[in-house]
A and B are shown apart, each in its own frame.
Chain A
Amino acid sequence: MLMPLRCSIMQILIHHPAGMTPSEIYDQLDPAYKKERQCSPERLDGHLMSMKGVGIVEATDAFQDDHGQTVVRYSFTDYGLDTAKKYFPSLLN
Chain B
Amino acid sequence: MNSSELLISKNMGYVKKGIIWGLLSGVLCGFLTIFEDKGLGTEPFVSAGALSLMAVPIVFGFLQDLSSWLCVLIANIANGKGREYLRAVKTKPFLLLAIGAIVGGPGAACFYLCGVFFAGPFYPVVLSATFPAFGAILARVVLKEKIDLRMWCGILLAVIGAIVVSWVSGGVDISAYPHFTLGIIFGILAALGWAVEGVISNAGMDFIDPEVANGVRYSVSVLFYMIIGIPFISGIGLTGGYALVGSSFASKALLFAFLAGAVEGIGYYFYYKSCNACGSSRGMTLNSTYTAWSCIICAVFYREALPVTFWIGLVVIIFGGFLIAGNPTKIFSLRDTD
Contacts and interface: CB of A to CB of B under 8 A. Distances in A.
B242 to A, nearest CB: 33
Nearest to A56: B206
Given A36-B83, A55-B334, A79-B337, A4 B10 contact: no
A18 interface: no
Main secondary structure of the interface of A (DSSP, over half): mixed
A50 interface: yes
Contact of A83 (B206, B277, B278): B206
Contacts of A39: 80
Given A4-B84, A49-B277, A50-B277, A62 B7 contact: yes
Interface residues of B, number: 42
Nearest to B212: A4
A85 B192 CA distance: 29
Contacts of A31: none
Contacts of B86: 1
Interface string A48-68: 011101111001011110000
Contacts of A59: 7
Interface residues of A, number: 33
Contact of A87 (B10, B14, B207): B207
Interface stretch (B88-96, B128-136, B158-166): B88-96
Contact of A53 (B3, B6, B208, B277): B277
Contacts of A5: 84, 209
B280 to A, nearest CB: 9
Contacts of A10: 207
Interface of A: 1-7, 10, 36-39, 47, 49-51, 53-56, 59, 61-64, 70, 72, 77-79, 83, 87-88
